[in-house]
Structure 1
Amino acid sequence: MVTRLTDSPVYAHLWSTPELEELLGETARWQAWLDVLVALARVQARHGLVPSEAAEQIAAGARAEALDLDRVTAGTRSTSHSTLGLIRELQRVLPESAREHVYVGATVQDVSDTWFGLLMRDVGAIVRRDLLALEATVLDLAERHRDTVMVGRTHGQPGAPITFGFKAASWADELRRHLDRLREGRPRWAVGQLAGAVGALAFHEAELDPLALRRDFCAELGLGDPGASWLTSRDRVAEFGHVLALVCGTLARIGTEVYELARPEIGELAEPTTATAVGSITMPHKRNPEVGEHLDTLARLARSSAGVLLEGTVVSHERDGRGWKAEWVALPEVCLLAGTALGLARTLLAGLEVHDEAMAANLERFGDRLTSERVLAGLSGRLGKHAAQDLLQGVLAGGGDVVDGVVARGVASADEVRGWMARAPVATAGRMVDEVVARAREARAGEGV
C-alpha cells in the first residue's frame, strides 16, 4: 500500500528517477548490504579468519531474490535489531558449514555505513554525469547569446543592461564549482566502514592486523580506506548531502529565473512545451512555467533533508543511533531529489526558448534610465561620486528626460551626456563570458568530456 504521495505511481516521477529508484529501491538496498557481507567474508578468508569455501558459499547464497523478505521483516521486528533478521535469513539459505562465518566481527553500522560509501560514490557519479551534460548546454547558451543585450534587474526592478550570455555564464560558473566539489569530495565520501563495537576493531585484534583487514575490505568493494573509524563522525554524509542541496539550489535559481522572465509582461524566456501539456484546467490561455517552479520545490525539500544530515554531526560517544538512523531517511531522499532536479533542468535548458526580440523591446521600453550608471560614472569624475549621485537622483525623480535634466543643471553638455550613454555597457560582461567558457572548456578537456 502506498501511503506517501511521493511514492505514488501517478506522482513518483516528480520526486525520483527510474535510474535512482533502481539504485535505492528495497531489493537493491538488500543486495548492497549482502554484497558488503560477501566482501567481508572473502577478505576474512584471505586473512585466514574464515574458510575460503565458506566465503564462496556465502557469495553464492547472498542474493536478494533467494531470500524470503517476509522472514527478514519478521526477524527484524521480533529481535528489535536492524540486521539480525537479514543475517538469520541468509544463514537459513546457506549450507550449514557456512552459517557461522556470516557477519563475523561486524556491526549494523559497518554494513549500513559501507552502503552509504557505495551510495555516495554511485550517486555522485550520476550527479557528475548530469552536471556535465547540463554544463555543456549552458555553455552553448552563454556563447550563442554573448552579445544578446537584455535588461539587468536588481531587487526585481530594471537596472542596467547585461547580456543573456552573461546570465547563462553565471549559471555555468556555478555548475563548474559543483563539479569541483564532487571531484574534491569523492575521496572523502567513497569510503567503507569496518569499526566493530566502538571503532577500535578489537574483535579482530588477536588473529590478524585489523587495519590491513579493513583496507582490504574497502578495496574489495572499490572504496577508499577511511583511516579511522567514523561511527559518530558524520561529516562525510552531511557534506555530501549539502553538496547535493547546493546543486538543487543552483537549479532552483535557474528555474526561478525562467519562471520570472516567462511572465507575459516580460516575455524574454519560455519553457519548452508539448501539444498535450495543459497549463490550467480553468484558464486555457495559460502556459505555466511548471518545471522552473518544481525545481524550487525540489530544492526546498533537498535543503530540509540536508539539514537533517547536518543535525547528525552532533552525536555522543562512540556510537549513537540518533544520527545515522535519521540518515537512512535523509540521505536517500536528497539523492532522489537532486537526481530528479538535474533531469528536469536538462530538459528545461535543452529546449529553452530565448526571445531576444522581447529583450530588445524591454530595453527600449525603459530607455535612457537604464544608462544612469554610465551617466553617474561620467559625472563622478567632474563632481565627485556622491554629489553626482544626489544630482542624478533629483533629475530622475522629476521623471523628465535625463539629458535635458543634466544639461539644465549646468554640469554637462548634451553631447557629453549622450557620449556617456553611448559607451558600451556590456563589453566587460562579454569578456567575463569568454573567460568562464574558456575555463570550463579547458576543465572539460582535462576530464575527457
Structure 2
Amino acid sequence: MTALPPQPLSPLDGRYRQAVLGLGDHLSEAGLNRARVQVEVEWLIYLTSHRMFGSSPLTEAQVESLRALAADFGQPEIDRLAELEATTKHDVKAVEYLVRERLHALGLDSIAELTHFAATSEDINNLSYALTVSAAINEVWLPKLRSVIGELRAQAIEYRDDAMLARTHGQPATPTTMGKELAVFAYRLERVAAQVDRTEYLGKFSGATGTFAAHVVADPDADWPRISREFVTSLGLEWNPLTTQIESHDWQAELYNRVSHANRILHNLATDIWTYISLGYFRQTPEPGATGSSTMPHKVNPIRFENAEANLELSSAVLDSLAATLVTSRLQRDLTDSTTQRNIGVGLGHSLLALDNIQRGLGQIALDRDLLAADLDANWEVLGEAIQTLIRAEVTAGRSQITDPYALLKELTRGKRVDRDGLAEFVAGLDLSQAAKQRLLELTPQTYTGVASALVDYL
C-alpha cells in the first residue's frame, strides 16, 4: 500500500483545525519559540539598560529592531531555528544563537555574551510558558467560555417564565422554569471563569538550582533577587522567589484544575441539553443540506452536544494528567515536565473545540412551549408536595386537625397519576381553612414554580 503524504496525527490539527486556530498561535512549538525569543531579547535589553558589566543602553532603534525579532516572528525564523537545532540538538540554545545572529546584524557583537546571561534553559522556558499559556487563556479560551456563558444568560432570560416539569432521579418532580435551569449553569460557569481570570502566572529567573550562584560570581555586589523580580514582573508575570532549577508549576496545576472543573460543568450542561432534546423540550433547527443519518432521513441528531461531551472528557483527561505530573520534579530537576508541557495545547484545544460545539448547538435549538405545557398538564400529582406542605402550616397555625399530611398525600399520589379534577375533589374534602383551600384550588403545575423566574436575576 502506498504511504500517504505527511498528515496531521491529531484531529485538532486536521478535521477541527479551524475551531482551535487561536490556540496554535500561542501553544504551538512556534508560539513557544517566539516567546523564548521575547524573553531572551528582553533580558538583553534589561541588562544593557541597567549598564550591567560595563554595557551601555541600546538606542531606541536598536531596541525596536531586537524586539521585532519576536514581534515579527514568522516562517523565516521558524525555518532558521530548525536549522540551528539540527546542529545544537537543543531548542533553547538554538534560540540563543538566533538572537546572537540579530545582534551581529545590528553590529552589536560587543554585547553578544549577555545573550542568555547566567540563565539556565528553564529560566527561559518557564517564563515563555507563562507568557504563552496566559495569552492562550486570556485571549482565546476565556473569551470563548464567556461567549457560551453569554448565550446561556440570554436564553435564561428569554425562558425565565417558561414552566417545565423538573425531573429528579429522572422522575416527575416539582416544576421549575427552563430559564432558571439554564441560569444555574451560567452561574456555575461564571464562578469558574472568575477564578481562571484571577490566575497568578508565576515565573522564576534564578539560575541552575534557584540560588543565583553564577550571578553572584559575575557580580557579587548586585542585588540579584531584586533584579530577578524586576525582570519577571516587567514581563507581566508574578515573581516566584523560591524554586529549584524549575519554577514549581503550582500555578499551572491550579489553572488546569479550574479549566477541568469548567469542562465538567460544561459536560453536565451538554448531557442535560441532550436530554431536553430527547424529551422534546428543545427542537433542533436543521442545518441546510446537513444529513442526520445515512439511512434515516428524518433524523436531526444532537451532534454538537455529543461532540462536546467527548472533547470535554479528552480535555480533562489531559489537563488532569498535567496538573498531577507538573507539580513533581525529582530533587532539583528532571525533564518529566518538558514533554508534558508540550501537550498543554492539546488539553486546552479539546476544551476550546467543545466550547465551539456547545455555542453552535445552543444557537440551533428552540423551546417547544406546547410540549412543556402538555407534560405539566399530565403530571398534576407533583402538587402533592405543595398540598402536604400547606397542610403542615395550617396544622401548626391551629386551623386544621389533619394528622400526618405527608402520609395522606403519599397514599394519594405515590406511583399514581392524578388529574386536575381528582386533585380538586381531594382538596375540597380536606379539613383546611377556606383561604388555604382556595390557594390550592388555584394552583396548577404551570404556576407551581416558586420564585424560579426571579432567581434568574442573580446572574
Q: Is the 8 A contact 1:269 1:353 kept in 2?
A: yes
Give distance in 2, aligned partners of 1:359 and 1:128.
34
Q: Find the residue that maps to 1:426 and give its secondary structure.
A: coil
Moved more, 174-183 or 392-401: 392-401
Q: Give 2:156's match in structure 1, choosing from 138, 142, 145.
A: 142
Structure 2 counterpart of 1:134, one-letter code: V
Q: Give 1:104's match in structure 2, choosing from 87, 93, 117.
A: 117
Q: Give 1:121's match in structure 2, choosing from 123, 134, 146.
A: 134
Unaligned 5+ runs, structure 2: 1-5
Give distance in 2, aligned partners of 1:306 and 1:298.
12
1:109-149 Cα offsets, whole Å, 9 max, x none, are 21221122112321232333233333332222222221110
Q: Is the 8 A contact 2:162 2:179 kept in 1?
A: yes
Give distance in 1, aligned partners of 2:424 and 2:415.
9
1:425 aligns with 2:448: yes
Structure 2 counterpart of 1:393, one-letter code: K
TM-score, with structure 2 as normaliser:
0.81
1:309-366 Cα offsets, whole Å, 9 max, x none, are 221223333323224542232x22222223323333333334431222221122123x
Structure 1 counterpart of 2:440, one-letter code: W
Give distance in 1, aligned partners of 2:210 and 2:389.
64
Give distance in 1, aligned partners of 2:334 and 2:32.
22
Q: Find the residue that maps to 2:95 and give its secondary structure.
A: helix
1:200 aligns with 2:200: no
Q: Is the 8 A contact 1:113 1:193 kept in 2?
A: yes
Equivalent residue, structure 2, for 1:30: 33
CA gap of 1:12–1:133, structure 2 versus 1, over 3 A, is closer
Give distance in 1, aligned partners of 2:239 and 2:247.
17
1:6-49 Cα offsets, whole Å, 9 max, x none, are 24533434xx5222222223322211111111111111222333
Map 1:249-288 to 2 at 5 A: 249-263=264-278, 266-288=279-301
Pairwise CA RMSD of aligned residues? 3.3
Equivalent residue, structure 2, for 1:399: 416
Equivalent residue, structure 2, for 1:171: 185
Equivalent residue, structure 2, for 1:10: 15
Give distance in 1, aligned partners of 2:441 and 2:408.
16
1:167 deviation in Å?
0.7
Q: Is the 8 A contact 2:88 2:94 kept in 1?
A: yes
Equivalent residue, structure 2, for 1:39: 42
Structure 1 counterpart of 2:86, one-letter code: A
Q: Find the residue that maps to 2:203 and give its secondary structure.
A: coil
1:205-226 Cα offsets, whole Å, 9 max, x none, are 2422212222232243232333
Q: Find the residue that maps to 2:176 and give its secondary structure.
A: strand
Identity of matched residues, %: 21
Moved more, 246-255 or 160-169: 246-255
Q: Find the residue that maps to 1:195 and give its secondary structure.
A: coil
* Rg larger for: 2
Give distance in 2, aligned partners of 1:92 and 1:109.
22
1:387 deviation in Å?
4.2
Q: Give 2:92's match in structure 1, choosing from 65, 83, 101.
A: 83
CA gap of 1:391–1:323, structure 2 versus 1, over 3 A, is farther
Q: Is the 8 A contact 2:45 2:58 kept in 1?
A: no
Equivalent residue, structure 2, for 1:445: none
CA gap of 1:213–1:421, structure 2 versus 1, over 3 A, is farther
Structure 2 counterpart of 1:371, one-letter code: L
CA gap of 1:101–1:398, structure 2 versus 1, over 3 A, is closer
Q: Give 2:330's match in structure 1, choosing from 316, 321, 324.
A: 316
Equivalent residue, structure 2, for 1:443: none
Q: Find the residue that maps to 1:427 and give its secondary structure.
A: coil
Give distance in 2, aligned partners of 1:399 and 1:336.
49
1:196 deviation in Å?
0.9
